């Protein structure tokens, strides 16, 4: 089994203040390994997004530690957290969050630009990433000219183009129909298998569990159960190893 990429220990997160205070995460322990798709499921309000934010260094935990690729996020300020995200993490959101005034390839390039990589190399990498998600023919299309599924594929290309160690996706198929959802999940699963990246997917859709190596259940801020995902996992991993 690959080394853990993200390790979370004894995470507690309290959100809000005063009467509206919510203990969103309670003593969460979790590690995400490379080459593995982890699915996070649970009822609405159970803390999935909060956990994803903490693991992705967007939110600092109230207590507990998060380690990303060996670097602890403890005590980091906003700028240092941004650096951790920049170096190790790619995000995919339910509502895509593409830049409406930028073409598909520019949207993807932007992820490289914030990392200081620009010019022809960046453009070539953006092309490759869009090709991986099957959008080589839509490089110059603007988000409004793309379907929801296509927009989400651009968002995935944007998340993978900088070669992050972990991809965290919050309900990436939430706004898509079943068919498109399956396609997106399949892309994410392939990314995990082919490149030893760790992929965490928050979802409500139990039809997607066939893509998961592990399924973690969260309820009221606590991890309550963990299941092994489908049987294809070992086969995929062997294929990935054979590729080395």
Name the site residues for another protein (rule: CB under 8 A): 49, 52-53, 58-59, 78-79, 82-87, 89, 91, 93-95, 97, 99-102, 106, 109-111, 113-115, 118, 158, 170
CA dihedral 220, 90, 65, 78 (to 10 degrees): -110
* CB closer to ligand ATP out of 59 and 104: 59
- Binding residues for ligand ATP, rule CB under 6 A, total 13
Residue 53's contacts (CB-CB under 8 Å, 6 or more residues apart) are: 59
User: Residue 20: which of another protein, ligand ATP, Mg ion, none does it interact with, CB under 5 to 8 A by kind?
Assistant: ligand ATP
In degrees rounded to 5, what are phi and psi of residue 170?
A: -100, 105
Site membership for ligand ATP, residue 18 (CB under 6 A): no
In degrees rounded to 5, what are phi and psi of residue 85?
A: -60, -45
Site membership for ligand ATP, residue 70 (CB under 6 A): no
Residue 8: CA count within 13 A, CB half-sphere? 24
- From the list 213, 202, 207, the residue with the least C-alpha distance to 235 is 213
Site membership for Mg ion, residue 94 (CB under 5 A): no
User: Residue 45: which of another protein, Mg ion, ligand ATP, none does it interact with, CB under 5 to 8 A by kind?
Assistant: ligand ATP
* CB closer to another protein out of 87 and 128: 87
CB atoms within 10 A of CB 180: 17
């Amino acid at each position: 089994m690959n080394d853990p990429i993200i390790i979370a220990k004894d995470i507690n997160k309290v959100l809000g203040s005063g009467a509206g205070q919510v203990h969103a995460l309670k003593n969460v322990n979790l590690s995400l390994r490379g080459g593995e798709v982890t699915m996070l499921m649970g009822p609405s309000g159970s803390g999935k997004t909060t956990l994803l934010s903490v693991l992705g260094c967007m939110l600092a935990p109230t207590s507990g530690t998060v380690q990303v690729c060996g670097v602890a996020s403890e005590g980091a300020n906003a700028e240092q957290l941004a650096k951790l995200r920049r170096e190790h993490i790619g995000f995919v959101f339910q509502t895509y969050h593409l830049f409406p005034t930028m073409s598909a390839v520019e949207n993807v390039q932007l992820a490289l630009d914030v990392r200081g990589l620009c010019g022809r190399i960046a453009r070539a990498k953006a092309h490759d990433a869009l090709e991986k998600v099957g959008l080589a023919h839509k490089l110059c299309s603007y988000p409004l000219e793309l379907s929801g599924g296509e927009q989400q594929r651009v968002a995935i290309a944007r998340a993978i183009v900088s070669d992050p160690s972990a991809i965290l996706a919050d309900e990436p198929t939430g706004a898509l129909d079943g068919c498109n959802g399956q396609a997106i999940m399949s892309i994410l699963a392939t990314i995990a298998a082919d490149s030893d990246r760790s992929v965490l997917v928050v979802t409500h859709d139990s039809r997607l569990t066939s893509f998961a190596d592990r399924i973690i259940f969260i309820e009221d801020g606590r991890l309550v159960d963990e299941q092994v995902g489908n049987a294809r996992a070992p086969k995929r991993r062997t294929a990935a190893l054979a590729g080395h």
